[in-house]
Amino acid sequence: MNDMDYEEMIKFDKCIDFLHTIGIQTTFRTIGDDGFLPGLLIKNGVIIIDRDGLQHPGDILHEAGHIAVVPAGDRHNLTEKCIIQRTDREAEEMMAIAWSYAASIYLEIDPGFVFHEEGYRDGSSYITESCSKKEYIGLAMLQRIGLTFNEKRAQRLKVPAYPHMVKWLRD
């Protein structure tokens, strides 16, 4: 985080403010090598951020997506180790991608801030290209859990479609 330029810092602060507004807690402390991603750790549903170890500040939105898409009753026990072991982890991963894309659009932050070149197993460009074509990974699952609507359903209901979110946290 010490290498962040002014624009990145503004985006990062927007993300933190947004997460607090929707009910996802963050805290700052040194975590060393404990995090799944450099400088980030999820413990008991809280995102712990190590300012000195954080390499990609946009990762916070994706990690928040993991917290947001699990059932509310599971959130308070969530850790990154739990995320990997969850029965629906593949579906939740795709939903976290879709959620973090929607969050970046809502915050008016370039999705490249979240989907940086060093993440997503070299699939970040695929994710952003798909989204630019409105071929959204995880959208059907976000709709199924009641967080958003696809174009067809949104037109029928006369509401905004994804990437607009009806709500940010799963019940």
Q: What range defines the domain where residue 87 resides?
A: 6-157
pLDDT tens-place string over residues 139-151: 999 999 999 999 9
Q: Is 144 exposed, middle or buried (0-12, 13-18, 19+ CB in 10 A)?
A: exposed
Mean pLDDT to the nearest integer, 99-128: 92
Mean pLDDT to the nearest integer, 26-34: 91
**pLDDT above 90: percentage of residues in the chain:** 86
Is residue 139 a part of any domain in this protein? Answer: yes
pTM over 0.75? The answer is yes
Tell me the C-alpha to C-alpha distance, in Å, between residue 133 and each of 127, 130, 144, 147: 10, 5, 21, 21
**What tokens appear for 42 in the block?**
């999820």
Contact in structure between 35 and 53 (CB atoms under 8 Å): yes
Amino acid code (one letter) for 14: K
Is residue 1 a part of any domain in this protein? Answer: no
d(CA 53, CA 2): 9
Is residue 167 a part of any domain in this protein? Answer: no
Contact in structure between 171 and 71 (CB atoms under 8 Å): yes
- Count of positions (residues) in the chain: 171
For position 117, what pLDDT does the model report? 82
What is the tally of structural domains in the chain? 1
Is residue 62 a part of any domain in this protein? Answer: yes
pLDDT tens-place string over residues 37-90: 899 999 999 999 999 999 999 999 999 999 999 999 999 999 989 999 999 999
**What tokens appear for 35 in the block?**
């995090």
Is residue 66 a part of any domain in this protein? Answer: yes
pLDDT tens-place string over residues 86-95: 999 999 999 9
Is residue 145 a part of any domain in this protein? Answer: yes
Is residue 169 a part of any domain in this protein? Answer: no
Is residue 163 a part of any domain in this protein? Answer: no
